[in-house]
Amino acid sequence: MHDLPPSRLRVCLTSICAQVVAAEFHHRVHMYQDQGFFTDILVAGANFAMEEREHELAQYFNVNKSNKKTSPGLDRSHPKSDGCDALAAG
């Protein structure tokens, strides 16, 4: 991971941090629901909004590699082109 260029390292860390924040958000919303502070409708709305945001971030960081040949603007040097492949490789 330390061999990655700084821009790719930022992409990986941003992705990881976003996942941690989302998990903590879901946990807290359900805690407040269990304690009776939030209604089911409020929890459903909050979860829907957060899941949409997670989906948007996943799409942003996961560029379809099959489009690289057709899109001249996407190349391997772009920080989000292959995201955290180095982390997945170990």
pTM score of the predicted model: 0.60
Q: Can you give the residue ranges of every domain in the chain?
A: 23-63
Q: What is the pLDDT of residues 1-32, one digit of tens each?
A: 566 677 777 878 888 888 899 999 999 999 99
Tell me how far apart the alpha carbons of residues 61 and 53 are, in angstroms, rounded to a whole number. Answer: 12
CA angle 1, 14, 69 (to 5 degrees): 75
Distances (CA, A) of 69 to 9, 46, 75: 24, 39, 9
Percentage of the chain beyond pLDDT 70 is 64
Separation of alpha carbons 20 and 24, rounded Å: 6
